Homo-oligomer: A and B are copies of this chain.
Amino acid sequence: MTATLSIDALHALVAGALTRHGASQAQADAVARTVTAAERDGAASHGIFRVPGYVASLVSGKVTGDAVPTLTYPAPAVVSVDAGLGFAPLALETGIPALVQVARETGVAALTIRNCFHFAALWPEVEAVAAEGLVGLAATAATPMVAPAGARVPFFGTNPLAFAFPRPNGPPLVFDQAAAAMARGEIMLAAEAGEQVPEQVGIDAEGQPSTDPAAILGGAQLPFGGYKGSSIALMVELLAGAVAGDLFSPEAGRADNRDGGPPRGGEFLLALDIARFGHGEGWRARSEAFLDALSALDGVRLPGARRHANRATALAQGVSPDPNRLKTLRTLAGAD
């Protein structure tokens, strides 16, 4: 039976599951904000589906549940947060206000998150930047799951790239897309549901094309769009592994304890304050006209629009997560 909960009630369950397994209240609340945001926006693959993995990584000791992120300013346009081997969300909440402040002074600024464990979507962080009126871009690597174009073994992570652009009269334009043809969370959901996935999503352990999600999870995902998507995945590796100064996906794969939780890794964020680019204010109206013309084309929906529509419904009516996952969450939270 499907239950409907308020966002606050769901937050309390998620945070409770984490504190019950060793997370500090601050770490748990930050994770719970991203998990409930995903449920709220209809993005189930980053919702409460992820809580057992978060808990597993606390139980195994891989993640430091009471880590306190520390903020430094290594260069005039660079902000860095050492997450202290905690989860990413609290580190991001620590760093993003500083990133925004610096970008407003310098015009462009970067934030790097290091020594953290990232298990969430990237749109929450770029939306937070866009909510301050700035352009946001984010990238993070993972563990080997995607075969580079031409190869038949996993090497890149799914390597999402997210981008947000502020709009004056509503939510920002936002995309958050894996460099893989399909997000791994979606493949996991298909495996759970016993469904096939489209062709070109992945190959099996022998390197042969497959539409069986379980075979692909044991083989390799493919990048979207062939060698061009593969280049995007490579760029993400270099932004997260070299620029942010944390593990490349193959390094993270070797370091991981396979507890089912998030891998260790870094994240790269960029913020741009267009108002500081010296060409006045005309871009605001021109950008709106451009985006309005785009969304007026037959067959086009702006990235992020469906998620924002789901959000409005959820804020008014609450959310109805998958009953089995909600049951698991209640058990982990000791709420049964």
Residues of A whose CB lies within 8 Å of any CB of B are: 72, 74-78, 80, 105-110, 112, 114, 135, 148-153, 155, 163, 165, 173, 175, 177, 181, 224-229, 231-232, 234-235, 237-238, 241-245, 248, 250-251, 270, 272-274, 276-280, 282-283, 286-287, 290, 293-294, 297-301, 303
Contact = CB atoms under 8 A, between A and B. Distances in A.
A287 B107 contact: no
A77 B277 contact: no
A110 B109 CA distance: 9
A175 B303 CA distance: 25
B75 A294 contact: no
Nearest to A245: B279
A300 B149 contact: yes
Closest 6 CB pairs of A and B: A225-B225, A74-B278, A245-B279, A75-B107, A150-B299, A78-B107
A77 B224 CA distance: 33
A279 B244 CA distance: 8
Given A279-B114, A298-B152, A165 B232 contact: no
A228 B231 contact: no
Number of identical protomers: 2
A110 B112 contact: no
A222 to B, nearest CB: 11
Nearest to A72: B278
Nearest to A107: B75
30 contacts: A72-B278, A75-B106, A75-B276, A76-B107, A77-B109, A80-B277, A107-B110, A108-B110, A112-B277, A135-B242, A148-B294, A151-B299, A152-B298, A155-B297, A163-B235, A163-B238, A165-B242, A175-B231, A175-B234, A224-B226, A225-B228, A225-B229, A229-B229, A232-B232, A234-B303, A241-B287, A242-B287, A243-B283, A248-B287, A270-B270
A273 to B, nearest CB: 8
A185 B110 CA distance: 34
Given A75-B106, A150-B301, A276-B75, A286 B163 contact: no
Contacts of A149: 300
Contacts of A227: 303
Contacts of A287: 238, 241-242, 248
A29 B152 CA distance: 45
Given A155-B294, A287-B238, A278 B108 contact: no
Contacts of A175: 231, 234-235
Given A74-B279, A78-B106, A224-B226, 10 more contacts: A75-B107, A76-B107, A135-B238, A135-B243, A152-B299, A225-B228, A228-B229, A242-B290, A245-B283, A250-B290
A74 B274 CA distance: 11
